[in-house]
Amino acid sequence: MSDLRQRFFIEDSPIRGEIVHLEEALQTILAKREYMPAVQSLLGEMLSATALLASTLKIQGRISLQIQATGTFKWAMAECNHLGEVRALADYEEDPRFAEGTDSRTVLAALTNPVLFINIEPEHGERYQGIVPLDQPTLAGCLIQYYDLSAQIPTHIVLATNSQRTGGLLIQLLPRNEEEQEFVDEDLWPRLTMLTETLKPEELTDLSANEILYRLYNEEEVRLPEAEELKFGCTCSRERCANALIQIGVEAVHESLEIQNPIQMDCQCCNTRYEFTAEEALGLFGEHLS
Ligand SMILES: [Zn+2]
C-alpha cells in the first residue's frame, strides 16, 4: 500500500468521501527530525487531514493546518497542494507531558493557549483563514465541530497514525436541490457517520481503502474513481525566502549580513539551503553596495 487518496461515492445519494494513506511521505518527514511518538502521531493526523481537506477544494494552490501555542509546544504545520504534495513540521521543546502517551491526544491535552488555523492559499485569488477551536480531545473531533459550527457542508472525519503510516477518512453530505431532497433516505447520513465511528485506528492505518469501504459500507453501493497518488513535496522557493527577508525589513537584513554573508536560509522541511549575497539581499530593497 503506497501513498494514495481514494475518492468514493455512495451511489444514488448526496454522500461522497475520501480515504488517504501516507507511509513514504510520513517516513520522509519523520526522518528529517526526531519527534517524540505523541508528536509523530499528531503530525501524521494533521498530514492525513490536510490531504483529505485538499480534495474537497477545487482550487490550484495549497491548504494547510497550523497549530500555534504558547507553551513548550510552539507550533506544528501540515500542508497539501493540488498536485498531492504534502509536507509537515513541528517545533517544540522537550516536555515530560508529551511522553505520557504515544497518542496525539497526549500532545493536544498539554498545549497552552492552542489555536488551529485552516489556511487556504489559491495560486490566484484571495486567501482564506479559518480558526478552529482546539477544545476537543482529538484533532478529528475539533475539525468535525468546526464544520458543524461554521454551517458548512456536514462533514465527518476519522484520523489515525501508527509508527509506520497515517490514515484518514472523510465523508460529506453534499447540498441537494429541493427535488433531490425528496428522494433522499434521511437516515443515511446518521447511519454512515455512526458506521464510520466504528472503524478502529489500526483498521484505518492498516487496511486498504477497498477493505475499509467494504468493512464500513458493504450494505451500500460504493463507486470508486481511480485513486490519486500523494507524495512528499516541499513548496519552499527562493521567492518565498526573498519575501521573508522583505518582511523582516532592511535594518534586520543589514544586521544579518554583519553576522553572515551571504545570508543562508535553510528550509526545515526539506533541508534545501538558499543563499543571498549582500548585493542580492539589499537589492530586494532597491539598495546597492557602495
Ligand atoms: Zn523546502
**What is the 272 CA–ligand 1 centroid distance (Å)?**
6
Q: What is the pLDDT of residue 1?
A: 59
Radius of gyration of the chain (CA): 21
Q: What is the pLDDT of residue 182?
A: 65
**What is the 62 CA–ligand 1 centroid distance (Å)?**
15
Sort strands 15-22 and 61-68 into parallel, antiparallel or unpaired.
unpaired
**What is the 97 CA–ligand 1 centroid distance (Å)?**
30
**What is the 127 CA–ligand 1 centroid distance (Å)?**
21
**What is the 113 CA–ligand 1 centroid distance (Å)?**
28
**What is the 235 CA–ligand 1 centroid distance (Å)?**
6
**What is the 174 CA–ligand 1 centroid distance (Å)?**
36
pTM: 0.88
- How far is the C-alpha of 287 from the C-alpha of 290, rounded, in Å? 9
**What is the 31 CA–ligand 1 centroid distance (Å)?**
14
- How far is the C-alpha of 183 from the C-alpha of 95, rounded, in Å? 54
pLDDT in tens, 1-50: 589 999 999 998 899 999 999 999 999 999 988 999 999 999 999 999 99
**What is the 236 CA–ligand 1 centroid distance (Å)?**
4
SS3 23: coil
E-only strand ranges, the chain: 4-10, 15-22, 61-68, 73-81, 85-92, 115-122, 128-133, 155-161, 166-173, 222-223, 228-229, 231-232, 263-266, 273-276
